[in-house]
Amino acid sequence: MTEFAMMNKVYGEAISGVIEITVTWRCKRA
């Protein structure tokens, strides 16, 4: 369960980072 929680945290942070980069990139393009 600890391993799953760690993986969940890592994936959550990665997804948040990707969304942030995508939003920034779209704003720069627009």
The per-residue pLDDT for 1 is 67
The predicted structure's pLDDT at residue 29:
83
Distance CA 22, CA 2 (A): 30
- Predicted model pTM: 0.57
pLDDT of residue 5: 94
DSSP-derived letter for residue 14 is H
Q: Where are the domains of the chain?
A: 1-30
One-letter amino acid of 21:
I
Q: Note the pLDDT tens digit of each residue in 1-30.
A: 699 999 999 999 999 999 999 999 999 987
